Amino acid sequence: MDLQRIVDETWEALADQRGSGTPARYIPALELVDPRQFGIAMATRDGPVYCAGDADVPFSIQSVSKVFALALALEREGPALWDVVGREPSGNPFNSILQLEREKGVPRNPFINAGAIVTTDRFIGDRSPEVAIDDLLARLRLMARDEGVTIDTEVARSESQTGSRNRSLAYFLADFGRLLNPVEDVLSVYFRQCSLAMSCRQLAESALFLPFDGTDPVSGVTMCSPSRARRINALMLLCGHYDNSGQFAFEVGFPGKSGVGGGILASVPGRASIAVWSPGLNRAGTSLLGAKALSDIALRTGWSVF
Ligand code: DON
């Protein structure tokens, strides 16, 4: 299969729809991004990354970071993480607080905001917020094989300034005794983790451990065990797009994780990791053009997991 041609043809087929969807407005710094940008990057065990469009432009990865935070929290905490966060789809928007009271402060899964806040808290563990965020950044630079991965401090500040919903979730969790660290410490890491600035190319490269049983087949770096990688993929398929996860599985057919910066990271088991980016979102916070691009790639490659 000529994967570069597939990536190019997908980009070209959708290029005239650039700017469709609605960029996230609740984080003011994200509104400043040019909504007509559109990038695709596909990494495989071959080595070279197949790219099209704005694949080298860094963007705010937002909730895509929750996949890396989960892998790293599991590495520190092991299966005990599952005592404080569930593994079921929520069927609710990413920032919903509805189920949290009924379910005694145990969030449905690690990808909704409440679950990600708990996961980040466990990733911090007994370390300072600064040590934890430096560790996260170092791991991502290692996996992306690129020292250019950074945190956009302007986006992090913007998120914190408008973060009342996430503060509500975090204080609610703290009231149920689910957090080890002070709320503001956990949020300071959570906001910075969401504000990681990465390009499609960096994202696709750093996520190669997901489709390849926990070990990047190009660098040989192991991120997690094969069974853990498979389980993270399972959660991405079932919960990666919140109340749009069913639709994404139906249209695309492989695991993915969206972010309100307009990025989607997809993992095609045994084949590739694919990152797409276009800032306009659908109502569930998934990139409209990004989801179309992945659906198109699934069609052209026949790579559905089903
Ligand atoms: O916490 C927030 O609301 C954002 N930092 C992340 C939300 C997000 O990316 C949802 N995903 N589509």
Structural Rg of the chain based on CA atoms: 18
Does residue 86 form part of some domain? yes
**Is residue 54 a contact partner of residue 278, using CB atoms and an 8 Å limit?**
no
Residue 277 main-chain phi, psi, to 5 deg: -150, 125
Listed residue (181, 169, 148) closest to 98, CA to CA: 169
The CA-CA-CA angle for residues 26, 149, 241, to 5°, reads 45
**Predicted TM-score (pTM) of this structure:** 0.97
Does residue 220 form part of some domain? yes
- Clarify whether 190 is annotated catalytic: yes
Element (H, E) at 140: helix 129-144
Does residue 250 form part of some domain? yes
Does residue 83 form part of some domain? yes
Does residue 306 form part of some domain? no
Q: What is the pLDDT of residues 245-298, one digit of tens each?
A: 999 999 999 999 999 999 999 999 999 999 999 999 999 999 999 999 999 999
| Alpha-carbon distances, residue 122 vs 61, 73, 76, 81 (angstroms) | 21, 6, 8, 7
| CB of 287 shorter than 6 A to ligand 1 | no
Tell which atom from ligand 1 comes closest to the C-alpha of 159. Answer: 5
Minimum CA distance residue for ligand 1 atom 2: 113
Distance in Å, CA 135 to ligand 1 centroid? 21
Does residue 123 form part of some domain? yes
How many independent structural domains does the chain possess? 1
Listed residue (250, 265, 263, 260) closest to 211, CA to CA: 265
The Cα 129–Cα 110 span in angstroms is 19
Terminal CA-to-CA distance of the chain, rounded, Å?
Answer: 20
Does residue 195 form part of some domain? yes
Exactly one of 106, 190, 267, 268 is catalytic; name it.
Answer: 190
Find how far residue 240's CA is from the centre of its chain: 8
What ipTM is given for this predicted complex? 0.99
Distance in Å, CA 43 to ligand 1 centroid? 25
**Is residue 296 a contact partner of residue 10, using CB atoms and an 8 Å limit?**
yes
Sheet arrangement for strand 272-277: 50-53, 39-44, 272-277, 263-268, 256-258
| CB of 260 shorter than 6 A to ligand 1 | yes
Residue 246: which domain range? 3-301
Q: What is the CATH number of the domain that holds 292?
A: 3.40.710.10
Q: What is the pLDDT of residues 112-140, one digit of tens each?
A: 999 999 999 999 999 999 999 999 999 99
The predicted pLDDT at position 267 comes to 98
**Is 242 annotated as belonging to a binding site?**
yes
| CB of 62 shorter than 6 A to ligand 1 | yes
**Is 186 annotated as belonging to a binding site?**
no
**Is 109 annotated as belonging to a binding site?**
no
Q: What is the mean pLDDT of residues 24-50?
A: 95
- The set of residues, in sequence order, having a beta carbon less than 8 Å from that of 12 and lying 6+ positions away, is 52
Does residue 114 form part of some domain? yes
pLDDT band at 11 (very low <50, low <70, confident <90, very high): very high
Number of C-beta neighbours around residue 162 at 10 A: 14
Q: Which two tokens stand for residue 65?
A: 């970071």
**Is 26 annotated as belonging to a binding site?**
no
